[in-house]
Amino acid sequence: MKPLDLSLYLVLDPDLCGGPANMISTARLAAKNGATVVQLRAPNWKKRQWLETASALKVALEPFAVPLIINDHVDIALAVDADGVHVGQDDLPAGVARRLIGPDKWLGLSISTAEEMREVPHDLVDYLGIGPVYPTGTKTDAAPATGLPAFAELVAASRRPVVAIGGIHAGNCLALMQAGAQGVAVVSAICGQGDPARATAVLLAEIRKGSPA
């Protein structure tokens, strides 16, 4: 089991990256330059495409010991022996996902509201993704943005480490760390950037300013 450092959590997007080959090169550049987790998220893909890309990502990330998390599709995570699964409110419940992946894989859960926080099975999940904190154009079915104060309240209510997501860039990630996040998840701040390596390094430097020493 690879250690889970949530500091800079890259969520790969097929459209922003420009297809599978670019997703893999983006993931490699990001991992090399400080991304600590990579999640594959492709809500419109068929499973054959999922399997091929997840397999290639696993190989690409191996040299960096960066865990690969699979969004939503537990069967793909099982098929490629990924490091974990991330589920949202419309996906398999955390309890079902945990039962299928077993105790030795990372499990993350997305929440957006205090009500969803009250329902979190803290004993079954390893971390929470909370957001969108800021408005985002990446996820078309995203909940309304929480804003920073509500995000901080949700973090305070969590008994698991929290990664912030939604509208995050180098200019606002320090504030999220100071609000209690263990890390930030980004999509467009790395995917499709002209220089993903540099974008990653800049983000990481900002995040480190807010990390517990």
Q: Kindly state whether residue 73 participates in binding a copy of itself, applying the rule CB under 8 A.
A: yes
Which of the residues 145 through 164 are near a copy of itself (CB under 8 A)? Answer: none
If the CB atoms of residues 16 and 87 are measured against a copy of itself, the closer one turns out to be 87
User: CA quadruple 91, 92, 98, 101: dihedral positive or negative?
Assistant: negative
* Binds a copy of itself (CB under 8 A): choice among 99, 159, 198, 209: 99
Which DSSP category does 143 fall into?
Answer: P
Q: Both tokens of residue 177? A: 């760390």
- Say which amino acid occupies 70: I
Query: What is the Rg, in whole angstroms, of the alpha carbon atoms belonging to the chain?
Result: 16
d(CA 186, CA 209): 17
Q: Both tokens of residue 94? A: 């955390």
- 3-class SS of residue 210: helix
d(CA 87, CA 61): 21
Q: Is 211 among the catalytic positions?
A: no
Q: Which range in 11-19, 86-94, 179-187, 200-208 contacts a copy of itself by CB under 8 A?
A: 86-94
If the CB atoms of residues 78 and 170 are measured against a copy of itself, the closer one turns out to be 78
Which of the residues 9 through 48 are near a copy of itself (CB under 8 A)? Answer: 46-48
Q: Kindly state whether residue 119 participates in binding a copy of itself, applying the rule CB under 8 A.
A: no
Selected catalytic residue, list 7, 110, 112, 158: 110
Q: Kindly state whether residue 49 participates in binding a copy of itself, applying the rule CB under 8 A.
A: yes
Which DSSP category does 183 fall into?
Answer: E
Give which of 111, 20, 39, 49 is closest to 82, Cα–Cα: 39
Selected catalytic residue, list 58, 98, 105, 139: 139
Q: Is 41 among the catalytic positions?
A: yes
Q: Kindly state whether residue 118 participates in binding a copy of itself, applying the rule CB under 8 A.
A: no
Cite the active site residues.
41, 110, 139
Q: What are the residues binding a copy of itself (CB under 8 A)?
A: 46-49, 51, 72-75, 78-79, 87, 89-93, 96, 99-100
